[in-house]
Every structure is written in C-alpha cells, then in structure tokens.
Structure 1
C-alpha cells in the first residue's frame, strides 16, 4: 500500500506537431543496514507548468506509506514533504508524471550590457548574479570566456558561453560526484550534466548575465518511437536573462525543446535536488535510482 501526492489538470494541453507528450517514472530506493526509526524527507519530482510545458498528471508514491504534503519552495519548485516514524529498512520514492513539452517560443525584448549593469537589474537578480561555492569560476577562466565572447551582445553571449564550455569539457558519467564544484570539474576537463551546467552558470554570471541552474529530465532519443520505454537520467541545463529568460542545454549543445522536462530552478544543484532527507537509525547501505522515459505522443 502506498500513499502519495497527486496533481491533476482539468484542461489538457493542445497537441501540436512540435510538442511531445512524455511519461517519466523516477524511482529512488534507499537501503539501510537495519530498521530506521525516523526519517524526514523532501522530494522534488513534480514537473512545472509554464508556457513551454504542461503537466497533465503527476504523482509521488512513498513506500512504506506516509502522509505527504506539497508546497512551493522559495525558487518555485513543487516539494513533496513527508516523514516516517515506523521502523523501515528500505524507503522507496517514485515520481510518475505525464508532461506535454515543446520548444520555448516566447518572444521578449532584448537588453544591452548597459541595462544589465543597471542598479534595478542588479538588485532584482542579485542572487542569480552572485557566485556560489558550486558555481564560482577563477578569474583566468572568466577572462578566457570573455575573450571567446568578444563584442557579442547579451543575447549572443549566452549561446557563445555554452559553446565555449562544450568545447572545453567532455561528458563522462561517473567522473565527478554531487559535491564536485565548477572549478574542480573544469580542471578535470570532464564531468556530468550537473558539472557542465555549474561551469556554464558560473561563467554567465561572471560576464554579467543573470543565470540559473535547471533540473529536469531529457529523453535521450531525438527520433523517439511512440510507446517505447527507454532508460533515462536526471538532467540539468541552464537559463540566462537578457530581458527575458532563455534556455539551453550545454551538455548536448541544443536549445531546450520537446525532449526536455523541467522540474525546478535555483542557484545551483543544492537548490533543486530530486531528493534529500535525514534519518535516525543504522547506517545507510546506499541507494539506487532508475528513470524511465516514454514518449506517448
């Protein structure tokens, strides 16, 4: 028996040729060496609703059964919070969502570097212009990025920074951990999507573009067959502001499109982990994560 939080929309999104309907099943199982007495947990597994993306259905299931409640955090992500006070040697949390997603077709007026340096913009986006321990980049690397951008205007500088990072970093699964910071990953010249996004966000901010880290999922196949489940992973990409928000996937060097499902945003990974919690009891034996993505239409 399980309990969970369910989100249903009464109005379905209008299907379109450039939109995909995706089902995502994200399951995390925590294993302990003996019965855990208590645990306190937060899951960020509910995709957002936006002009680019409509969440048709989303459910978070918890085993053993627990009463959960949902709230929006400071950054706008939907959080499913729950605690358990019955002994358990295993905890499974499964987020299942059906989402219709497409490219970002929203238009906005572009601003120049002078407008970005204005006091009102600096105050409005202060948290998204400041470096964090996970995104801070050394001056030498910032200078290289600035040279690569040259005289580009802000809306051109964003993609240029993404390309600059892509040319200098290789995607390699298992080469880093969730605690690896941007400069450590840059020094290795390799990392996972989290690292590549942290480096990109750090350089965008250093050049004066408000930038945020985005957490979500990516269907791995550009020509995915309808109805065929495939193994996926949690994914990360970036957004920057130049009068409006722009999204780009620096790991794959592509704009955000119908294969991308957005969960939430923040300054870095620390603001949008899929799961975090505390427990009281014997030591953890680790956890397993599986993500299954299916194109439905």
Structure 2
C-alpha cells in the first residue's frame, strides 16, 4: 500500500484574448479496489462550474465553460490517493481453457471494443513473431509478458523522435518513441494475439526500477486475462503496472483517454505548459503555472490544436 500526492498543472497561453471556451477533462483518477481517492481538487481559470459524468468506459469526465474573455487557461489538479498492490495471475488453469474463454467472450460488451487491431505495415512481422514464439500455446498472461519484453527490447526510448503526426507505421519502422508509442505498438500486438487490450492514461510514481515517463502523464496497456480480469502492463518500463501506476482513464486508444480537450472562439496562437509533480508526502509549497509570456507565430482555433499540444508535451517526457 502506498500514498501519493499528485499535482498536475496544464496551462494554455494565448497570443490574444479568446471567448466561449468549452473544455473536457479526464483528470479524475479511477476509484476502485486498487486505488482510493482520498481528496481531489481541481482549480480552473475564472473558477467555472465543473460538471461531471461517467463515459462509456466508466471514466469520470469533467466539462466546463469559460464565456468571459481570457488570454490563458490554467487547470490545476491536486490528488491524494492510496494505491494497493494486486496479486498477479497464477498459471493454474489449463491453457486451452484460457484461450477458449477468450473466444467465448469476444462479443461481450466489456471486451469487444478492445479486440480489433489496426492494419499496419508490421502486421506480418507480428504474426510471424506470435507463431515463432508459439505464444498461443502458452497462457495469455505469459504471451502478454513476452510481447511486452519484445517491445521493451526492440524499441528505443527516445524523446522527440516522434510527434503527433507519427503513424503506427512510423513508430514500427523507427523502432523508437516514448510511452504513447510503446503503448500503441503493444496494444496492436496483444490484440493480434487474440487478447483484449485497452489503452490506459495516468501517472507513474518512479522507483529505482521504474523511471521512464515521469514528469507528465504516462501510458500503458491493460490486457484481459481469463479468470483474472484486466492486468496493467507497462512496455516503456517492461513492468507489470501495480501500486506505482495511478490510472486516470481507459479506452480503445489515446483519443479516448486524452486528459484535456477544448475549443474556443478567437483567432490566436497558443503555447502549452504541462507539469506533473508526485510525492509520497504532502508538499506545503505552492507550485503555480508560469505567467503568460506567449511566444509563437502560428494561429489556430480548434480542438485538434489543443489535442496536438497535449500530445507533443507528453511525447517529450
């Protein structure tokens, strides 16, 4: 069991004032048997009312409007959370029964969205890998660990080599990227093996053995293991996600889990600042976003622009 204090700062700075900002946030940690939210406070520029609802994948979503003119948008999420370790799957069930269970469940509502892989240039390579390693002859748990090991070993963790325009093919051919890229590749491989897998966004609380991905939101997968349930696997660190991984949202891909989306009225350029601070003790010092010292030239007004900024910021971590 561990307690973490997490502060997540997101700030957009605009080159001029904008109005009628409509925003969606996925910054509410999942609250279940393995992570208990002790307290959670979100503060936003102009203090708008944040309305919440539960989406199709059982994520808690916040939405708010800022109708007044503003030249910056600051979102600060502060969480105290207690995480609990979980037992790992035991290989006590006959292998054939586990694969049969996956076949029987493939149309179930809780897994059907997480089974279909995306066609890409590396599909034949992945299928050959699955066959050569005889992954369908071992347990699904061991198969997922084998694929995680493959991604960790054959892909280099390099910041800045990929961006929001990088495709699955690009990442496969580069054999490099950051947590989002590692996660996207492993999702495809696990699904091609016939095992449901979903994208997870959240935070990583670094240890001596787990260090990649700190400083921003992190990403990993959860694979469905028969007679066990969803198990988190972190290909960036070649680790099973446990009490040091704090989950924010799950979905089919990054788009289902992105922490901030928004639109506004105004023809402006924008910069983004993101910072995540994690501690095992409460920090009495106040961290605040930097002032609006906008530097930039491009102009845009769209949800896509804000989403691209978020992705680019995360992929530099």
Q: Counterparts of 1:146 and 1:218 in 2: how far apart (Å)? A: 29
The alpha-carbon deviation at position 232 of structure 1 amounts to 2.2
Query: What is aligned with 1:58?
Result: 40
SS at 1:258 equivalent? coil
Report if the CA contact (8 A) 2:89-2:141 is conserved: no
1:154 counterpart = 2:136? no
Q: Which aligned pairs between 1:125-140 and structure 2 lie closer than 5 A?
A: 125-132=111-118, 138-140=122-124
SS at 1:143 equivalent? helix
Report if the CA contact (8 A) 1:145-1:161 is conserved: no
- The 1:80/1:152 distance shift into structure 2, 3 A limit, reads same
1:281 counterpart = 2:263? no
Task: In structure 2, list runs of 5 or more residues that go unmatched.
Answer: 283-317
SS at 1:290 equivalent? strand
SS at 2:153 equivalent? helix
Q: 1:97 aligns with which of 51, 55, 79?
A: 79
Over 6 Å off, 4+ runs: none
Give TM-score scaled by structure 1 length: 0.84
Q: Aligned-pair RMSD on alpha carbons?
A: 2.2
Query: What is aligned with 2:222?
Result: 239
Report if the CA contact (8 A) 1:181-1:198 is conserved: no
Task: In structure 1, list runs of 5 or more residues that go unmatched.
Answer: 1-18, 225-230
Q: 1:250 aligns with which of 213, 235, 241?
A: 235
Q: Counterparts of 2:263 and 2:118 in 1: how far apart (Å)? A: 24
The alpha-carbon deviation at position 222 of structure 1 amounts to 3.4
Q: Which aligned pairs between 1:38-49 and structure 2 lie closer than 5 A?
A: 38-49=20-31
Greater CA drift, 213-222 or 27-36 = 213-222
Query: What is aligned with 1:143?
Result: 127
Report if the CA contact (8 A) 1:20-1:258 is conserved: yes
- The 1:221/1:232 distance shift into structure 2, 3 A limit, reads farther
* Corresponding pairs, count: 270
Query: What is aligned with 2:255?
Result: 270
Q: Deviations over 1:15-74 (max 9, x none)?
A: xxxx21001111111011111021110111111112211111112110122111111111
Give TM-score scaled by structure 2 length: 0.79
The alpha-carbon deviation at position 107 of structure 1 amounts to 5.8
